Amino acid sequence: MKGAVGAKTWRLEPETEFRLEVDFDQKVTVTLLEGLAEIFGTELALGVPYVFSGRKIAVFTWQGYGTPSVDYVAEETPMTSYLNTHVALDQMRQAAAMQGGNGPRVLLLGPPDVGKTTLAKILLSYAIRQQHQPLYVNLDPTEGSITMPRSLSATSLTHMLDVEEEFGSSATTAASLGSSIIPISYFYGHASPADNTKLYKILTSNLASAVRGKMAQDADARSSGIVIDGPGLVDSVGYEIIAHTMKEFEVNVVIVLGHERLFSDMVKNHSQQSDISVIKLSKSGGVVERDSEYREKLESREIHDYFYGTSRFELSPYSLLVNFDDLAIYQIGQSNMAPSSALPIGMDRHITETQITKIEPSYSLSHSILGLSNAERDEEAHLVSSNLAGFVYVSAVDEIKRKVTILSPAPGRLPKKYLIMGSFKWLEP
Ligand code: ATP
């Protein structure tokens, strides 16, 4: 591969990668001039300038081009082991297609910043390149991926991931408003599964049931299987969630990245189940730890892109003025609650983890991201189990005029009656 970065041209040898970190206030253009190369599994088109901002990426080549590599080019990458994993998954997909059965249900595990999402992209892209249509499930509420941060989602991937937009939250905004089937998302509303474990587990079960429905109807999705990006929790709550996720999604391939103890615990826990494979893969030397400032910027950009799109796919959100009395906003449970099981015997909790509370509009709503529920009634079980049509943003609250200004991807009235609130705020830049 030969490419140009800014004013520089780089040559890559086979199986090496060129790593780039671009700040949010910078733009770097990468153009592939000769050969073949990919970014996290998606091939670059020859001669097309790709623009990156606020991204940490690796341009990888299997084939390479010509003469020796130069600085900043990493020769040690775990890409061969990732490709071998893909080959094994592909064999499972082919067997499933022939027998009409389910393809692999893969769960990616490991602490934060080990490259779980990146590996998910690589495995999904390789599957798509071989004409499969895998389902991508995001159970990491810190990342929006295909919709909005703080939500849990599943989507059927039929096209290659975009090199610049990755999962492309903006591109799915319109689709998610028009379609309640796929991508499907549930608003969890909090950053960590530990904030409301019971709700997190209920939503995971709902998502798994939607995925089962999709797989039952669609033979291609069924044989292609699922790739699940797990949350980065490796404590006791994390283990409880892993066990729950494995049961609900009938996971049969567990991939552990960058955590020895988690790997040996997974091997131990599933040693009796011959139908479950537990694989350990190395963390890439290129995975970058993201500090809280970087993560905040990333989250802010994901939210911005949801409403406004990106430079390639611009969206124009609408500003709606809604009367306090026309809003039905609910909070589900509370964040940071100890689970009911942790309360002293005999003590009852006033608010349970899934109890719904109607929120009276006030200034405290300002800057909240709210989920637009597909629910038709405000009964607890129905509201908790309903998925989302999309999201809106509360840009201003006027307590005197009793009106709320709402930023919505759709014009006219609010497209749904019930709104769900979490502990999720955004300061529009
Ligand atoms: P979390 O659980 O916290 O979401 P994660 O385990 O999913 O993290 P990733 O999001 O995949 O980790 O990776 C962390 C960062 O490292 C990302 O910005 C990603 O683009 C970057 N990264 C991953 N692999 C490479 C690589 N080979 N070269 C350069 N950057 C990389």
Q: What pLDDT does 424 receive?
A: 81
CB 153 within 8 A of CB 72: no
Two tokens, residue 323 = 């009367």
Tell me the pLDDT of the chain averaged across its residues. 85
Q: Which CATH class is domain 79-281?
A: alpha beta
Q: Is the pLDDT of residue 336 over 50?
A: no
Distance CA 222, CA 219 (A): 5
Q: Is the pLDDT of residue 2 over 90?
A: no
Residue 114 CB–ligand 1 contact under 6 Å: yes
Q: Is 114 annotated in some ligand binding site?
A: yes
Residue 415 CB–ligand 1 contact under 6 Å: no
Q: Is 27 annotated in some ligand binding site?
A: no
Best-predicted range by mean pLDDT (8-22, 122-136, 148-162, 287-301): 122-136
Q: What pLDDT does 176 receive?
A: 45
Two tokens, residue 75 = 């020769």
Q: What pLDDT does 273 receive?
A: 86
Residue 41 CB–ligand 1 contact under 6 Å: no
Task: Using most ligand atoms within 8 A of CB, pick from 118, 145, 152, 296 the residue to mutate for ligand 1.
Answer: 118
Report DSSP letters for 171-214, one per residue: HHHHHHHH-SSSSEEEE--SSSGGGGHHHHHHHHHHHHHHHHHH
Nearest residue to 134 via CA among 105, 114, 163: 105
Nearest residue to 261 via CA among 118, 85, 110: 110
Q: What pLDDT does 381 receive?
A: 86
How crowded is residue 330: how many other Cβ atoms within 10 Å of its Cβ?
21
Q: Which amino acid is at 192?
A: S
Asked if the ipTM is above 0.90, the reply is yes
Residue 118 CB–ligand 1 contact under 6 Å: yes
Best-predicted range by mean pLDDT (275-279, 291-295, 346-350): 275-279
Two tokens, residue 119 = 């590996």
Q: Is 118 annotated in some ligand binding site?
A: yes
Peptide bond into 183 cis (omega under 30): yes
Residue 56 CB–ligand 1 contact under 6 Å: yes
Residue 404: strand pairing partners: 322, 397
Q: What pLDDT does 269 receive?
A: 92
Two tokens, residue 126 = 């390789």
Domain ranges of the chain: 2-76, 79-281, 317-337+350-425
Cα(196) to centroid of ligand 1, in Å? 26
CATH match of 317-337+350-425 with 3.50.50.60: no
Cα(115) to centroid of ligand 1, in Å? 4
Provide mean pLDDT across the span 64-87. Answer: 69
Provide mean pLDDT across the span 269-294. Answer: 88
Distance CA 225, CA 260 (A): 27
Residue 140 CB–ligand 1 contact under 6 Å: yes
- What contacts 15, CB < 8 A, 6 or more positions away? 60, 61, 62, 64, 75, 77, 79, 80
Q: Is 246 helix (H, G, I), strand (E, B) or coil?
A: helix
Which atom of ligand 1 is nearest the CA belonging to 20? 29
Which atom of ligand 1 is nearest the CA belonging to 60? 27
Cα(165) to centroid of ligand 1, in Å? 15
Q: Is 31 annotated in some ligand binding site?
A: no
The string of pLDDT tens digits covering residues 364-408 is 999 999 999 999 988 888 888 899 988 999 999 999 999 999 999
Residue 283 CB–ligand 1 contact under 6 Å: no
Distance CA 107, CA 112 (A): 15
Strands 42-43, 226-229: pairing kind? unpaired
Cα(69) to centroid of ligand 1, in Å? 23
Best-predicted range by mean pLDDT (92-106, 285-299, 414-428): 92-106
Two tokens, residue 83 = 């490709």
Distance CA 59, CA 51 (A): 13
Cα(237) to centroid of ligand 1, in Å? 23
The string of pLDDT tens digits covering residues 218-251 is 999 999 999 999 988 888 899 999 999 999 999 9
Is the Cα dihedral 72, 76, 80, 81 positive or negative?
negative
CB 300 within 8 A of CB 426: yes
* pLDDT class of 143 with cuts at 50, 70, 90: confident
Instruction: Write the residue with the smallest CA distance to atom 24 of ligand 1.
Output: 287
Residue 112 CB–ligand 1 contact under 6 Å: yes
Q: Is 115 annotated in some ligand binding site?
A: yes
Q: Is 56 annotated in some ligand binding site?
A: yes
* pLDDT class of 6 with cuts at 50, 70, 90: low
- What contacts 384, CB < 8 A, 6 or more positions away? 199, 202, 332, 354, 356
Cα(114) to centroid of ligand 1, in Å? 6
Provide mean pLDDT across the span 133-137. Answer: 94
For residue 414, give the DSSP letter: -
* pLDDT class of 346 with cuts at 50, 70, 90: low
Residue 149 CB–ligand 1 contact under 6 Å: no
How crowded is residue 370: how many other Cβ atoms within 10 Å of its Cβ?
27
The fourth-level CATH superfamily of domain 2-76 is Clp1, DNA binding domain (2.60.120.1030)
Q: Is the pLDDT of residue 208 over 60?
A: yes
Q: Which amino acid is at 237?
A: V
Cα(79) to centroid of ligand 1, in Å? 14
Q: What pLDDT does 181 receive?
A: 36
Provide mean pLDDT across the span 275-293. Answer: 88
Sheet architecture: strand order including 135-138: 184-187, 151-156, 135-138, 226-229, 105-109, 253-257, 277-281
Nearest residue to 174 via CA among 412, 365, 411: 411
